[in-house]
Every structure is written in C-alpha cells, then in structure tokens.
Chains A and B, each alone.
Chain A
Amino acid sequence: MISTQKLVWPLLALVAIAQSAALFDMVYARDRLLKSGQEVTLAVKPLDPRDIFRGDYVTLGYDISTLTKSTTETDPDFTGFSVGAPAYVTLASGPDGKWAETHVGSRYPSKVAPGEAVIKGRVKQVWQDGNNAVTNVIVRYGIETYFIPEGTGRALEDKVRSHEVKAIVAVAADGTAALKGLIVDGERHEDPPLL
C-alpha cells in the first residue's frame, strides 16, 4: 500500500471514480443499445430440455444458432468461417411477422434492404456432416442467456415446452445484439430501462 499519506485520498478517489465510470459506461452502452437498436423477434427453440435450465438462467436456442449450407445464398461454403471469427446474419421480417435469415457472411454485408437487420455473432463450431457433405456452423450472438429469479426456472421451462416463446432482441447498427426480453404467448416480459 502507498506510504505517502498526502496522496492516499486523491489516489483512492481516482481509482473509485475510474472503476465507477467503467461500470457506468457499461450500463449506458447497454441501455442505449436496448433503446435505439432495431427490434427483432426470434422464435425460441428449446434445446435439450434437461440441459436448458441450469441454475438461474435460461439458455435460449434460435434457428439462426445453427446455420447450414442450404440456409445461405451468398457464402455457400462458409469460406472465411473459422472458430472464433465473426459471422453476420441478415434478417428480414416475413409476411407472417417471422424473422428469418436472408444472407449469411463472414463480413458485414454490402447491401442491406430497408427493414432488414444485420446481427453479428461469433462462430462457435464448424463441422462437416459426413453423409451429405453439408457444412454446419454454430454461431453465438450474445443473446443466448436469459437470467431469471432464483427458483423460477421450472415454471419457465414448462412454458417454453407448451407455449410459443419469442425473444425480443435489439440490434445496433454495427450488428451487436442485446436480449431485451421474452414474449410468451403474445405477452411481453421485459425489464424497463435502467436510466
């Protein structure tokens, strides 16, 4: 610990302010993303039901979590996709209100139609399906975890099984995505913004 007592208080204040500012910046950036980001709703598909509700958060799976060759037009062989690399998925809202991918690429797409949203993810796994030589890519977007109060996991698990659950996702202009809340049977569950 510092021995010069004259400097103790200013230095302590500097450290406390710097750490508080870093935390505030984290809150502010997230809050802005939730407020200003383009809103996209994605259908939640349960993974292995036993595995989903570990502890006090829910792991959510999406259709765009697993991309196969047939789901993409322009980057058909997933060239440029390696584990840890970014993946950009363009989403468009269909006539039934369902959002689905229209383009997958390892770089930000050059053309984005109005109303479309580009979501950025990180490649988690790439593998070849042996029988029909299909390349599969697992992508994580940072919207796969939904924290819930202690002990309420079981009830939510039943809901995901028997009801239609959608995730509300805010997407920033650069593709960063944030999970806003869940829609269970058309009912929005969402925390109000902090700031």
Chain B
Amino acid sequence: MWSPYKNRLKRDLERWQSNGWVSGEGRAAILADVESSGREFGLAPALGILASVLFGFAAISFVAAHWEDMPRLGRLLLLLATIWAGYGAAGWLVVRGHPLLADAAILFSSGMFGASIMLISQMYNISGNPSDGVLMWWIGTLFAGAMLRSNPALAFAMVLVCTWSFFETSEKNGVHWAFLIGWALVTAAFIWQRWRPGLHLSALALAMFVISLGYQLSGGHQHGLVAVIGGLAAAAAVAMEKLEPDLDAKLDHIAAPLFAYALAVAFAGLFARQFLVVPPLVDLIALAAIALVLILAAIAYALSTGNRGALWIGYIGFSAEILTLYGVTVGSILGTSLFFLVAAIIVSFLAYVALRLARQSAGRGRPA
C-alpha cells in the first residue's frame, strides 16, 4: 500500500489509542502488519522502470540517426543482442529475488523490440503504414507480458494499442473498431493478473475510445450516443452496487471505479452535445438542465457511497458546465443575471443535498 494510507492510519491509530479503543500492543501490531504486507514500491524498481524508458528513447534516437559507420546488419544484430540481454538480465534478477527489477528489464526488452521494428522499416524504406509496425510491437509486447506475467510490459502493451489505433484512425476516416480486439486482449491479461492499476488503464483507454466515437460517427455528431452509453454504464454500476452487492464484492468492488469512468464518459458526451454542436437555445437550456441534474445526482450518489473518484469528476463536470454555460449565455437572450440566478439556485440545492446527506450519516453514528 502507498504511504498516504500509512500516514493516515498512523494518525488515526494515535487517536484511537488515546480514546482507549486500541491497546499499545494492538497499535504496534497493526503498524507492523501494514509495514510488512504492503508491497512497498521501492526506489530501485522505480528507477529501473525509468531507466528502461530512457534506454528505449536512446534506442529510438539511435535508429533515427541512421548511423552509417556501422553496417546495417551490425545495427540489427546489436538491437537483437539488447533484446536478449534484457531477457537474460530479467532471469538473473528473478533468481536473485528482485522481481520488480526484472519487470524493468522486460520493459527494456519490449522497447528494444520496437526499436528493431523501426530499424528494419528504415532499412527497407517501409513507409506504407506506421500502424503496421506498432501492431507488431503491441502483439510482441503483450506476448512477453502475458508469458512472463509482467505488469509493466502489459501496461506498455495497452499504451501501444492506443498508439496503433491513433495511427489507424488518422490513416482513414472512420472508427477503428479493431482497437476493441487489442483492448480486450490486454484487458483479459490484466484480469488474469488481477492487477487493479492495469484495469484502471483499460477503463481509461475504453472511455477515451467511447468519447472519440462521438467525434467520428456520422460526421462527428454522435455525442448524444456517447452520453447515453456513459449513462447506461453508470446506471449498470449503480445497479450492481445496490442490487448485487455480493457480486460486486466478489469482483473486488469494481462498481465504484466503473461508475466514475462512466460518469466521465457521459459528461464528455453531454458537454460536446451542448457546446460543440451549437444546438438552438431552447435545446441548449433543456440539455444544460438535464446535465446539471445528472451531475448533481452523480455527486449525491458519490457522496453517499464514498466514491472519491466519482465525486471529483462530478465537481469538475459541474464547474466546467457552469463556466461554459456562463461563457455561452453571457450577452445572449438569457442574460448574465438570469444565469447567476440559475447557478445560485443549483448551488443552494447542492448545499441542501449535502446537508441532508451529512445529517443522515451522522444519524447512523458515522462522522461525515
């Protein structure tokens, strides 16, 4: 576990001990448990990962320099040797009991694999599709990550899938549906690994893909569809949390982050539908009212379930909505004063909701 949790626990334990709820031995035991069970992400593995990234950039620059003093075959063999050296180092580090440093070595080799693809493309003047090279790169990296069960390599594979999709989308008009295949494969590997940060990465990538649909489908006018998809996903997350709490617990409480990402997608769709498409004023007012009600509902729900991520997205969404509405309506028929009146009513309502929620939780004997 990360240190903010530890620091907070230390403070809380002191208070609990002074209240007499926790004994001195109990406190020491809890802290010792947190120290030992928490997989501390040490400085050495972190630096190892950063070094791998730097090595990767060095290799790509090396390829880009098109250094002629070394024959082409020599350059290719050099890069192949670095791939093998990386995997060799990984094996050595695992045997010596440094699995996190081994992950850095695997990441290094994945980077060298990509540099080799670039070098071959350059040697043979392959320009056609940069995306084909990235396709090969992510497949190779996913294979390495899955075989060696290396989370950083899998995360890198997801980044490459997104890069691949970005290239493909810029090559042709239209949605790059094959992204979903790559996404599903890497996500399956994350699930197999039971790696939660990876699933966050998956959710982020999918959210961006769904949002991009609004800009690509039917000439970029499908933001409403994006909002509906996000809304349905958010509703599904709420239903899971409320109706199937056992299933949610079995799935490691996946509903709460799912709700936050779905909320971000829904709001991105609603925002683009209101302000990028430029609907008639009546439609804009109706959409803005819907958006504000939904955001307030989401904030209320996030408060009641202690969903911090969703709460932040709600706050950010609320601020963005109000600020943009202000910018759009100032000087128009609606007028500035009416705008502030509406905003004030909404904020008062929010305060009222917050007060009620605080009273509710206080009534249940929980500090808000």
In this assembly, does B171 line the interface, its C-beta being within 8 Å of a C-beta of chain A? yes
Query: What are the residues of chain B within 8 A of A13 when measuring CB–CB?
Result: 87
Is there an interface contact between A34 and B88, defined as CB atoms closer than 8 Å? Answer: no
A residues contacting the other copy or chain, number (CB 8 A): 43
Cβ contact of B126, chosen from A1, A14, A142, cutoff 8 A:
A142
Checking A11, A84, A145 against B148 with a beta-carbon cut-off of 8 angstroms, the contacting residue is: A11
Judge whether A23 is part of the interface by a CB distance below 8 angstroms.
Answer: yes
B113 and A143 form a contact (CB under 8 A): no
A98 within 8 A of B: no
Of all chain B residues, the one with the shortest Cβ separation from A23 is B116
Q: How large is the interface on B (under 10, 10 to 19, 20 to 34, 35 or more residues)?
A: 35 or more
CB distance from B103 to the nearest CB of A (A): 5
Q: Which of B117, B123, B136 contacts A194 (CB 8 A)?
A: B123
Given contacts A19-B113, A23-B120, contact A30 B126 (CB under 8 A): yes
Q: Is B66 an interface residue (CB 8 A)?
A: yes
B123 — which chain A residues lie within 8 A by C-beta?
Answer: 147, 191, 194
B90 on interface, CB distance cutoff 8 Å? yes
A84/B172 in contact, CB under 8 A: yes
- Indicate if A20 sits at the interface (CB-CB under 8 A): yes
Bound: A83/B176 CA distance, A: 13
8 Å CB contact of B127 from A83, A145, A150: A145
A residues 104-163 near B (Cβ < 8 Å) are: 122, 124, 140-150
Kindly state the separation between the CA atoms of A187 and B144 in the bound complex, as whole angstroms: 45
Contacts of A12 in B (CB 8 A): 87-88, 90-91, 148
Q: Are B90 and A1 in contact (CB under 8 A)?
A: yes
State the Cβ distance, A191 to closest chain B Cβ, in Å. Answer: 7
Q: In the complex, which of the residues B99, B129, B144 contacts A3, with contact meaning CB atoms closer than 8 Å? A: B99
> Which residues of the partner chain B approach A22 to less than 8 Å between Cβ atoms?
136, 140
B99: chain A residues within 8 A (beta carbon): 1, 3
B149 shortest CB reach to chain A, Å: 5
Q: Which of A23, A84, A147, A178 contacts B117, CB < 8 Å?
A: A23
Contact of A16 among B66, B83, B126 (CB under 8 A): B83
Q: How far is the CB of B46 from chain A (nearest CB, A)?
A: 15
Cβ-neighbour of A26 out of B91, B136, B173 (below 8 A): B136
Are A142 and B147 interface neighbours, CB within 8 A?
no
For the complex, give the distance between the alpha carbons of A142 and B90 in Å.
Answer: 37
Q: Are A84 and B94 in contact (CB under 8 A)?
A: no
Instruction: Decide if B113 touches A23 in the complex (CB within 8 Å).
Output: yes
Residue of A nearest to B69 (CB): A149
Asked if B136 and A14 make an inter-chain contact with CB atoms under 8 angstroms apart, the answer reads no
Which residue of the partner chain A has the closest CB to B149?
A: A2
Stretch at the interface among B72-80, B245-253, B360-368: B72-80
B80 to A23, Cβ gap below 8 A?
yes
CB pair A141–B120 under 8 Å, yes or no, is: no
**Is A27 interfacial (CB 8 A cutoff)?**
yes
**Contact across chains for B171 and A149 when beta carbons are under 8 A apart:** no
Rounded to whole angstroms, the CA-CA distance of A145 and B133 in the bound complex is 15
Q: Which residues of A contact B174 (CB under 8 A)?
A: 83-84
Docked CA distance A14–B83 (Å): 13
From A23, A26, A140, B128 is in contact (CB under 8 Å) with A140
Q: Give Cα distance in the complex from A15 to B102, angstroms.
A: 14
CA distance A141 to B125 in the complex (A): 12
Q: How far is the CA of A23 from the CA of B140 in the complex (A)?
A: 10
Asked whether A83 and B172 contact (CB < 8 A) given A16-B84, A30-B120, A178-B124, the answer is yes
Q: How far is the CA of A108 from the CA of B256 in the complex (A)?
A: 53
**A18 close to B (CB within 8 Å):** yes
Please tell me if the beta carbons of A144 and B127 are within 8 angstroms of each other in the complex: yes
* Complex interface: chain B residues within 8 A of A150 (CB): 64-67
- Inter-chain CA distance A100–B186, complex, in Å, is 46
User: Which of A1, A30, A142 is in CB contact (< 8 Å) with B100?
Assistant: A1
**Cβ-closest 5 pairs across A and B:** A142-B128, A84-B172, A145-B127, A1-B99, A179-B125
Q: What are 13 A-to-B residue pairs whose CB atoms are below 8 Å?
A: A8-B94, A13-B87, A16-B109, A20-B80, A23-B116, A30-B120, A84-B173, A140-B127, A142-B126, A147-B66, A147-B123, A150-B65, A179-B124
Interface residues of chain B, those whose CB is within 8 Å of chain A, are 64-68, 72-73, 76, 80, 83-84, 87-88, 90-91, 94-95, 99-100, 102-103, 106, 109, 113, 116-117, 120, 122-129, 136, 140, 143-144, 147-150, 171-174
Given contacts A18-B140, A150-B64, 4 further A-B contacts (CB under 8 A): A27-B76, A30-B126, A146-B125, A194-B72
Residues of A at the B interface (CB closer than 8 Å) are: 1-3, 5, 8-9, 11-16, 18-20, 22-23, 26-27, 30, 34, 55-57, 83-84, 122, 124, 140-150, 178-179, 191, 194
